[in-house]
Amino acid sequence: MRERIAENRSMRHEHIISIVRPDSIAEEMGIEPGDKLLTMNGNEIEDIFDYRYYMEDELVVLLIEKPDGEQWELEIEKDEPEDLGMEFEQGLMDEYRSCHNKCIFCFIDQMPPGMRDTLYFKDDDSRLSFLQGNYVTLTNMSDHDIQRIVKYHLEPINISFQTTNPELRCRMLHNRFAGDALKKVQVLYDAGIEMNGQIVLCKGFNDGKELERSIRDLTGYLPFLRSVSVVPVGLSKYRDGLEPLEPFTKKDALQVLDTVHRWQEKIYPKYGIHFIHASDEWYILAEQELPEEENYDGYLQLENGVGMLRLLYEEFTEALSEAEGDRKERKLTLATGRLAYPYLYRLMDTMKEKFPNTEVQIIPIRNDFFGEMITVSGLITGQDLMNQTKGNITGNRLLIPCNMLRVDEDVFLDDYTVADVEKTLQVEMDIVKSSGKDLLEAVLGET
């Protein structure tokens, strides 16, 4: 039902609609790009939290303002999960909130000058935790934000703990309120909000006894705190003027793994989960085998590099077991970060029995742009890729993982495009999706 309203009300929150999807409820109701959403069910919409909450109702009443100022009240009956089919100029229906911390481990502070502006934006926006899985420190969240999470029962929220020692947390985040922010975790726990956590480990700061303390304290939030990852700080070569931080050694990695495994053995019998997880980098640095798949509790921390290589191996070997082998000749090159290189080499070797004439050259790309201590493929730039593969490519195809590129774009961190790289190298590039099955299909040329 649509009703035209002559009165033009003054609203604090106006959300401009940018896209109306074809054949959607919004299109059927006459909503068009450029219209403004003023209220839902009589309530002003602060941001995406409110919008999604009221969208769950079967009866939704929208107040829409047309570009000429005329207002329409639209009464919509729909199935509870059904979307209206419209998007807004601002993805969060609000400004993105920047981070006011000066964390000693922040990678954005270690970026070289001269890159695009968006790469220097520090977000610590709780809404991105729910929408994109970002980790938040809680220091940039108000009590109002916390209460809205509780009211709407939004979960899971991903929290960047670093340490449960309030004084140390203030020092590491360079924020005098960072210790008090931990009290918000108790509010979330009391409300039964599911959480995941991370600890970015910095040598000489939150490792050793401090790591023991943090894990012990965080077990107090079980079962609503479902998992906590321990990841090593990423250190680029651009740290002038920043807190001096040392890279971890093999001995350090062995100690971290010992701590993590001991706590897993304590926690698992009671809760049936391993809870605390070490990222893949620790196992590689310690020269230890990765844990078996069941140790990852369903891969809750994949975005933090926890179990990523194990999952890749499991998916690849499963897809390989189902594939029908052949003796077709294939020659191609696969570029990756130095972290994943030995595991990809092993995967390609296992393929030889079924595909003996498939030759895959793997080139581990050294990160000259950010520094050699950065070994993940997601931070490889177009220029490093070109410099280290030019003249070294086997075959007529170059495979790269999709995380080398910006999401949904063919652009590297340094703004080189896939087309730029293909033109320089004179080779066709295939962008491999994240799963092991995708990798096998890309190698076999079946994508």
Is it the case that residue 6 has pLDDT exceeding 70?
A: no
Is it the case that residue 120 has pLDDT exceeding 70?
A: no
Give residue 414's pLDDT: 92
The DSSP symbol for 64 reads E
Residue by residue, DSSP assigns 245-299 as -PPP-HHHHHHHHHHHHHHHHHHHHHHSS--EEE-HHHHHHHT-PPPPGGGGTTT
Average pLDDT of span 233-254: 94
7 pLDDT tier (thresholds 50, 70, 90) = very low
Is it the case that residue 119 has pLDDT exceeding 50?
A: yes
Tokens of 428: 């066709």
| CATH topology match: 108-305 vs 311-444 | no
CB 110 within 8 A of CB 244: no
Give residue 95's pLDDT: 63
pLDDT one-digit tens code per residue, 368-382: 999 999 999 999 999
Spatial distance between the Cα atoms of 87 and 178, rounded to a whole number of angstroms? 35
Spatial distance between the Cα atoms of 55 and 104, rounded to a whole number of angstroms? 40
Average pLDDT of span 17-27: 92
Give the pairing type, strands 71-77 and 2-5.
antiparallel
Give residue 48's pLDDT: 78
Distances in Å between the Cα of 35 and the Cα atoms of 4, 18, 64, 260, 270 are 14, 8, 7, 53, 54
Q: Which fold has domain 311-444?
A: Rossmann fold (3.40.50)
Domain boundaries, the chain: 2-88, 108-305, 311-444
CB 264 within 8 A of CB 306: no
101 pLDDT tier (thresholds 50, 70, 90) = confident
- Strand, helix or coil for residue 49: helix
Is it the case that residue 183 has pLDDT exceeding 50?
A: yes
Tokens of 76: 């919509």
Give residue 8's pLDDT: 47
Spatial distance between the Cα atoms of 116 and 135, rounded to a whole number of angstroms? 23
Average pLDDT of span 386-392: 95
Q: Which of 13-17, 128-132, 442-446 has the lowest mean pLDDT?
A: 128-132
CB 201 within 8 A of CB 216: no
Give residue 140's pLDDT: 83
Matching residue, tokens 């965080």:
218
Give residue 79's pLDDT: 81
94 pLDDT tier (thresholds 50, 70, 90) = low
Note the CATH number of domain 2-88: 2.30.42.10
Higher-pLDDT residue of 98, 188: 188
Average pLDDT of span 82-102: 76
Q: Which fold has domain 108-305?
A: pyruvate-formate lyase- activating enzyme (3.80.30)
pLDDT one-digit tens code per residue, 271-293: 999 999 999 999 999 999 999 99
96 pLDDT tier (thresholds 50, 70, 90) = low
C-alpha 400 chain-centroid distance: 19
Matching residue, tokens 């294939």:
330
Is it the case that residue 145 has pLDDT exceeding 80?
A: yes
Mean pLDDT of the chain: 90
Tokens of 94: 């609000």
Higher-pLDDT residue of 292, 135: 292
- Strand, helix or coil for residue 165: coil
Whether residue 67 has a cis bond before it, omega within 30° of 0: no
* Residue (of 127, 121, 173, 165) closest to 146 by Cα position: 127
Is it the case that residue 118 has pLDDT exceeding 70?
A: no
pLDDT one-digit tens code per residue, 308-362: 999 999 999 999 999 999 999 999 999 999 999 999 999 999 999 999 999 999 9
Return the half-sphere exposure (C-beta side, CA atoms, 13 A cut-off) of residue 199: 30
